[in-house]
Structure 1
């Protein structure tokens, strides 16, 4: 009976990669930051406070013992309300603003209202996951690296 069940499966010799390529690491990093912005925009629309936490290792000055402590994580918003009632949005990789306009030097996305903000962020996340932003992310990553002297 067990062999009939296993016979319906397709077996291959594929191996799990030991590490991700730098391009995939950058995509995942951007996707995580966009997820934070989506959570922040959703919380603001619902009137809640978005307060993620992170674990930090702290060393006691007297005894030298290390302990883990939950602290608030600082999340900077990528969006703001404009004077005409619309919402402006910039996508960032690290501290660099990504120019998603295709070299037209217009890095700010204009959104009609706050309700459209989450949809726009999800659209940008989908584009990043599909690899459409790889060149822009790589350029921003190179600029950040040069700023650190690497």
Structure 2
């Protein structure tokens, strides 16, 4: 019992739910990680194809089966007419507005290395809550589209 006496014991409960904005931040960070892995794979000359489990019903037997399939990831970046790389940050199917005053929705970059660094800094910005307002705006618009 002397080992327990040397520890600081407290009464605590684990929260069962996460605040909605924290859940949205985590969701956007996961997507930024996917884009980052996609960019790094393209830079190395490889393809990034994560796997996921898909459950379906076999039509002949009626049995539920699970198969591992590749997950399709859409690129958030493209090369513009000027030869620069444009990066749009998406939450679901919607593009986030990065600057309310100018209604800017994309970031212009010069190189692939700059793209990777920008994705890393965007992840930090999301975790710090800098894009909370834009995420909430898009989330509200999506919720209104369902008529809730």
Q: TM-score, normalised by structure 1?
A: 0.90
SS of residue in 2 equivalent to 1:125: helix
Gap regions ≥5 residues in structure 1:
none
Shift, 1:82, TM fit? 2.6
Q: 2:129 aligns with which of 128, 131, 150?
A: 131
2:108 corresponding residue in structure 1: 110
RMSD over aligned Cα, in angstroms?
Answer: 1.7
Q: Distance in 1 between matches of 2:75 and 2:109?
A: 15
Which structure 1 residue ranges, 4+ long, deviate > 6 Å from structure 2? none
> Does residue 59 of the first structure (1) align with residue 37 of the second (2)?
no
CA deviation profile, 1:80-107 (whole Å, cap 9, x unmatched):
1233332110000011111112432011
Rounded Cα–Cα distance in structure 1 between residues aligned with 2:63 and 2:95 = 40
Does 1:42 pair with 2:4?
Answer: no
CA–CA distance in 2 between the matches of 1:40 and 1:124? 15
**1: CA distance, partners of 2:27 / 2:136:** 12
Shift of 1:11: 3.3
1:15 and 2:13 correspond = yes
Partner of 2:119: 121
Residue 3 of structure 1: aligned partner: 2
SS in 1 for 2:103: coil
Residue 63 (structure 1) shift: 1.6
How many residues are matched?
148
2:67 equivalent among 61, 66, 69: 69
